[in-house]
Chains A and B, each alone.
Chain A
């Protein structure tokens, strides 16, 4: 394969848009995913995307803007999960499972009962990179800018709340507000990237870069940076591989991220063994 073959798909606008969105979405999910993973809420990306599918079906049925309707639905779902978790009658995994599967089930029921509400439902379930429009590029870009601004502005309270919520709250950090804003950002991230990744694969893009970054560093700041870069690289490489090997874009992006994980896992094992040997020698 020569350079001309590699650059050939960039002649098509749909592919350029797809690469822009996949790269930005990967970076955005990598960044936001660090907070998701460190809060032991890895399942929430999976759950939220399913919940938003329910919101999409409801929005289509009642005739409101799909993006707005599904987005509001996602935010309400995320806040409901957060409220249930804070009251602690059940664990976060059970709260996410309960709320989001109920929403997904509602979406499926509505699509079955009122088929017109299910238009483009396949694209939402499995991702449709070919259908990415210029407006999608702007939406992902805008959500990315807002997410980065929020994380920079609230960096320390976010870190404190994520690491040690009880102490952060006790020493005056507005932890409920921080949690709520993070949930809003997470919902917007899932909604904005759903067109590319699809409901069924979005959790992986949130979790995999953050997990790999965690394996590579013990510093929080470095973890954020590494996860963002890994997410972007996975999106970019995955999109190009999907074109040249005629594979679905969403699954290819996830498989590239999984390859990073396997390399980090193998390297981590070797490093640990070497560190153990050195420590033993001393």
Chain B
């Protein structure tokens, strides 16, 4: 079988290459001079504060937004999927789980109804993601983790080689967040390239093999041990942070060793009612 990512010279071709990409809404540049290469099998987390350009970078990589300057090159024939933030989904829209997954095959001529073979495929994708038997449910009538998985199923149904997720754990409880993270890791092991944005440094970012710290520009990129360091995080978030080691994991704590970032923290010796 021919590997589509291998060039004739034997070098593996990247899936997506962003070269000095600047995206602006009006006159304000949301991201500036971003360079990023996405290879087959990558699992990348884009982290940064609100307004740092995470979602914009995802959309630029996906092809939904044209760069003001610079280029985004995608491998010819690359199929991509996108899982939006759950907050941006209209949960009152009349669509069942099967309809939601089935709508993703919308390019070229398709029958309005889901064909028998597509129904079997959808059943397979739903089973793979632990959603067996939920095809006829309305998307609102699912738990937070199941809702997230429906949109992953939609991306997988298109045969996406790269799946972009915008804040996939936003609004989820700790247990569901872990479920989603494990599911993404499983998909990645099965060969799906994952690129996600998150503001959750401890819950998500430190568990990923590759992190990109973004605040308009790329501040740092690489493995967590190279990027989750006080200097990079301070430049990314604009405030001092400490890194603690706990059970072999890096834990990010707000504030430097001498700072008091929480104005409501009681001073030492203060007691209730004193």
Contacts and interface: CB of A to CB of B under 8 A. Distances in A.
Interface residues of A, number: 27
Nearest to A174: B107
A173 B59 CA distance: 14
Nearest to A169: B64
Contacts of A166: 59, 64, 84, 88
A220 B94 contact: yes
Contact of A220 (B80, B89, B95, B104): B95
Interface in A146-171: 151-153, 155-157, 159-160, 163-164, 166-171
Contacts, number: 78
B interface residue count range (under 10 / 10 to 19 / 20 to 34 / 35 or more):
20 to 34
Interface in A202-226: 214, 217-223
A268 to B, nearest CB: 13
A19 B149 CA distance: 48
Interface string B33-60: 0000000000000000000000000010
Nearest to A218: B138
A274 B64 CA distance: 44
A170 B63 contact: yes
Nearest to A173: B106
Nearest to B141: A218
A172 interface: yes
A110 interface: no
Contacts of B141: 218
B19 to A, nearest CB: 20
B113 to A, nearest CB: 8
Contact of B103 (A163, A170, A222): A163
Contact of A173 (B90, B107, B111, B138): B107
Given A169-B64, A170-B80, A220-B93, 15 more contacts: A38-B93, A152-B112, A155-B110, A155-B112, A156-B106, A156-B110, A160-B104, A163-B95, A171-B104, A173-B107, A214-B94, A218-B140, A218-B141, A220-B95, A220-B99
Interface of B: 59, 62-64, 80-82, 84, 88-90, 93-96, 99-100, 102-107, 109-113, 138, 140-141, 158
